[in-house]
């Protein structure tokens, strides 16, 4: 599942880059209305992919968190339980906000693109929000991939994991 979500995230990033490039071409008037149609044809599905992918990643962490909490509850040692629960909490803290704000930034970028196209807002505002959207998705990608890999490893080792000594905690 983590691999599929990683591939969907890569696909979303590629869509954001292609949409940005076609938007740049549109701002330079390198193709007229054809460029606007291309920009819209790439941007709309990319926003939808961002919404879908980030929602699925959020559900991945909810589901694996529930399974890890159940695995922790079955452990006889309180140190092992506390270690697993702390790791789950850490994964949620590193990813939940990004899973929420990355697709919202894509949605805001799209809505500002519509208003910039109709002349209701300046084009620079759409550009600034689009740059922020791409950067937020890149940060989200990095953190989510690392957290998904660590979650999968923790799920594999949850029953037999020996927590580090208090002085050696990572």
User: How many whole angstroms separate alpha carbon 41 and alpha carbon 38?
Assistant: 5
The predicted-structure confidence for 122-167, as pLDDT tens digits, reads as follows 989 999 999 999 999 999 999 999 999 999 988 888 767 667 666 6
pLDDT of residue 165: 64
Give the model's confidence band at 34: pLDDT under 50 very low, under 70 low, under 90 confident, else very high. Answer: low
**How confident is the model at residue 170, as a pLDDT?**
52
The secondary structure of 125-166, three-state, reads HHHHHHHHHHHHHHHHHHHHHHHHHHHHHHHHHCCCCCCCCH
H runs (alpha helix) in 1-158: 2-27, 33-73, 78-117, 123-157
Number of domains in the chain: 1
Which range scores top for mean pLDDT: 25-34, 59-68, 76-85?
59-68
Residue in the structure block whose two tokens are 């819209």: 40
Domain with 121 in it = 2-168
Q: For position 157, what pLDDT does the model report?
A: 82
Cα–Cα dist 38/31, whole Å: 10
Dihedrals phi, psi of 60, to nearest 5 degrees: -60, -50
Of 62, 54, 59, which is closest to residue 8 (Cα–Cα)? 54
């Amino acid at each position: 599942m983590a691999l599929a979500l990683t591939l969907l995230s890569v696909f979303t990033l590629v869509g954001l880059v292609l949409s940005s490039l076609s938007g740049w071409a549109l701002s330079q008037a390198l193709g007229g209305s054809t460029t606007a149609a291309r920009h819209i044809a790439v941007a709309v599905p990319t926003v939808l992919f961002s919404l879908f992918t980030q929602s699925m990643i959020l559900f991945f962490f909810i589901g694996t968190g529930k399974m890890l909490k159940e695995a922790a509850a079955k452990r006889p040692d309180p140190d092992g339980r506390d270690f697993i629960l702390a790791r789950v909490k850490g994964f949620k803290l590193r990813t939940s906000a990004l899973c929420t704000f990355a697709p919202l930034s894509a949605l805001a970028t799209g809505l500002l693109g519509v208003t910039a196209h109709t002349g209701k807002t300046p084009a620079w505002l759409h550009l600034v929000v689009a740059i922020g959207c791409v950067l937020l998705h890149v940060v989200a990608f990095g953190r989510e991939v690392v957290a998904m890999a660590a979650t999968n490893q923790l799920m594999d080792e949850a029953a037999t994991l020996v927590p580090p000594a208090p002085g050696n905690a990572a």
